[in-house]
Chain A
Amino acid sequence: MENAWIIPLFPLISFLFLLLFGRRLKENSGYVGMALTFLSLIYSLVVLFDRFNHPTYKAEATWLAIGDVQLTAGFEVNQLNALMLVIVSLVSFLVHTYSKGYMHGDDRFHIFYAYLGLFTFAMLGLVVSPNLLQTYIFWELVGVGSFLLIGFYFYKEEAKAAAKKAFIMTRIGDVGLLIGMILLFWQVGSFEYDAIFLAVEEGAISAGIITLTAILIFIGAVGKSGQFPLHTWLPDAMEGPTPVSALIHAATMVAAGVYLVAALFPLFTASETALMTVAVIGAFTAIFAASIGLVQTDIKRVLAYSTVSQLGYMMLALGSAGYVAGVFHLMTHAFFKALLFLAAGSVIHAVHTQNIEEMGGLWKKLRLTGPLFLIGTLAISGVPLFSGFFSKDEILIAAWTNGNPVLFWLAVIAAFFTAFYMFRLFFMVFTGQSRSEMKNVHESPKVMTVPMIVLGVLAVVAGYFNTPWFGTFLGDWLVEGNEALGHGHTEGPAWIMIVATLVSLLGIFLAWLMYGKKSLQRDWLSSRMPITYNMLYNKYYLDEFYALSVVKTTKGLSVLLSYIEAFVVEGIVKGVAGIVHGLGKTGSKIQSGQVQAYGTVAFVGLAVLVVVYVLAGGYLK
């Protein structure tokens, strides 16, 4: 555990190495990336198992000393960090492997792997940071990695726009994080998590400031984790290559917001208002994004909205004081959502379209992808025995026992939506008529299917680490030695589990009626409520609203400011320069080189002096 700092360095080496030699290695770059992330994975696993038997390890050194203030840099291996290390390095390794097949034949293959390495480095660095400042640095680095990878196909206008949008939207949240961070530093005098928690515990910070900083930091998480109202970048980010979507926009980076809230959980629990904000935003995002997901026709966009919705679930869990539930769902979601994205990538790889209207009947053609996609779908829908069932159940219990029935029912409805749209996706892609133009559809190569199988297994078994049936091993371990995080497991009424199961089965059944058996017309609902349908299809017109309000205002302001710049500022600058220039010109004209003129001036000057001297009384005084 003492050497855990080396884990993020492997992908960094991969990044630097591929940057230097990638051009020569071409597609062999993939092996470099795979090997180095595999080392990270192995080491992460070692650290995780080490952490089971040992207490939290923390090492740091002074980085900067400014007066009395010491800024430190280092790393910390606590339960959450160890778990995140494994999740990130595992998904990263699998995506590295998968990309070997998916990106095959791309001209910028090695650059893709270099970017993946950079991103993995940043993400691993983020999860071992022991203080806010370091977290912030890696937080931004992760954003850069995301930006580069979304814009990987930079020759596509949409990809370029999406990359910029993602960067700017998350930046808006980051400003909140930065302000919150500075406020905390001002109050506590340290960026250290431990120092902050100690100050909160001792009541050294006033309640108002705690609430304010917690909410500001949560705004950072909102930006990164695609929560309402800053979620619009996430669906657009699907312009990136699909493995990137799986790694960054499903399993790791978007979970960074949830991780941040979890890492600062004691700060949030100190303020009722902050927790409430987190819970309300989470629940609202969950149902809001799920409702949009109902009608989207792009396979990756449906998954993107489901990611937003599931992240909302995690936030709801954390906001309902369900630390374990949130982190647990973060883990299971990372597995099944990465699986779903990789499977979707496999489908796209096979049929070369992302529009689900143009797919169908792929079950027989994609013998491996189909069942794996089904596993992911069952897991996310919360069907019993799959991992999503257990984690979602934990969240619902947390929402219920925390005493807010409205949020609880919102979450239940969102679960129903989730089951419906996920199976709508499944039925439309894999069942029904196969399209004639898709004759030469073939299963993806092994290098792509094997990672999916690994994730498929995990998507099933990951739930059993923490079940009310066999023991809440994961939960107990996560909160061990830290009462501020709550209990490992909260007992809830048994009917919650039944309701959750029924709701998801109902959603699946409805989807089957409409898209599987087709006994219900597909436009049965949309034709009855065209306004609602249009609103959902256009994502509540939120993008248009932003374009009209924020973007227009900003642009108008920018134009105004550019005029001020051009005329007022520039005018002053030019005026000053002009005056000096004119003075110089006049001065140089006086210096004509005519010695006689100089002499005359000198004489006249002397005469004037004498006259003044005499008139003033002269030497007689």
Chain B
Amino acid sequence: MSSVPVAAYLTLALILFCIGLYGALTKRNTVIVLISIELMLNAVNINLVAFSKFGMIPSITGQVFALFAIAVAAAEAAVGLAILIALYRNKKTVNIDEMNDLKS
């Protein structure tokens, strides 16, 4: 178990985060963007868990935080999807380019 170094966890988190960032910044479909954000969130969770096990001061607190974050993310995903559906009802589209109501 201990043969897996901390760098591997961090690299996995980094890759996951980059994929999420890329998806969030480039995809046109709002649902995909939301999923990408979830990916970035989970990359952070991996980091938290990794540091709680292999950090300077290993402690279970990090894993508890990760669980909290997952719970909050679930709630956030529910709210986000609800907003998306409401938007879709208004605009009849999920294309993010047309979600520019903040302008003007």
Contacts and interface: CB of A to CB of B under 8 A. Distances in A.
Interface string A599-611: 1100100000000
B24 A599 contact: yes
A596 interface: yes
A593 B25 contact: no
Interface string A575-605: 0000000000000000111111001100100
B25 A599 contact: yes
Interface string B76-104: 00000000000000000000110111111
Nearest to A596: B25
Given A596-B24, A600-B25, A603-B25, A591 B103 contact: yes
B3 interface: no
Contacts of A594: 96-97, 100
Interface in B22-56: 24-26, 33
A595 B99 contact: yes
Nearest to A591: B103
A603 B17 CA distance: 13
B101 to A, nearest CB: 7
A593 B24 contact: no
A610 to B, nearest CB: 13
B96 A593 contact: no
A595 B101 contact: no
A593 B21 contact: no
Contacts of A592: 100, 103
Interface residues of A, number: 9
Contacts of B102: 593, 595
A594 B101 CA distance: 9
B31 to A, nearest CB: 14
A593 B26 contact: no
Contact of A596 (B96, B101, B104): B96
A521 to B, nearest CB: 93
Contacts of B97: 594
A607 to B, nearest CB: 11
A603 B21 contact: yes
Contacts of B101: 593
A587 to B, nearest CB: 12
Nearest to A588: B103
B26 A596 contact: yes
Contacts of B99: 595
Interface string A23-59: 0000000000000000000000000000000000000
Interface in B47-70: none
B25 to A, nearest CB: 5
Nearest to B102: A593
B96 A595 contact: yes
B77 to A, nearest CB: 18
B90 to A, nearest CB: 15
Contacts of B25: 596, 599-600, 603
Contact of B103 (A593, A596, A599): A593
A593 B98 CA distance: 9
A559 to B, nearest CB: 47
A600 B26 CA distance: 9
A603 B24 CA distance: 11
Looking at A591, A596, A600, A603, the one whose CB has the most chain B CB atoms below 10 A away is A596
A593 to B, nearest CB: 3
Nearest to B27: A596
Nearest to B103: A593
A596 B27 CA distance: 9
Nearest to B26: A596
Interface of A: 591-596, 599-600, 603
24 contacts: A591-B103, A592-B100, A592-B103, A593-B100, A593-B101, A593-B102, A593-B103, A593-B104, A594-B96, A594-B97, A594-B100, A595-B96, A595-B99, A595-B102, A596-B24, A596-B25, A596-B26, A596-B33, A596-B96, A599-B24, A599-B25, A600-B25, A603-B21, A603-B25
Given A593-B100, A594-B100, A595-B96, 15 more contacts: A591-B103, A592-B100, A593-B101, A593-B104, A594-B96, A594-B97, A595-B99, A596-B25, A596-B26, A596-B33, A596-B96, A599-B24, A600-B25, A603-B21, A603-B25
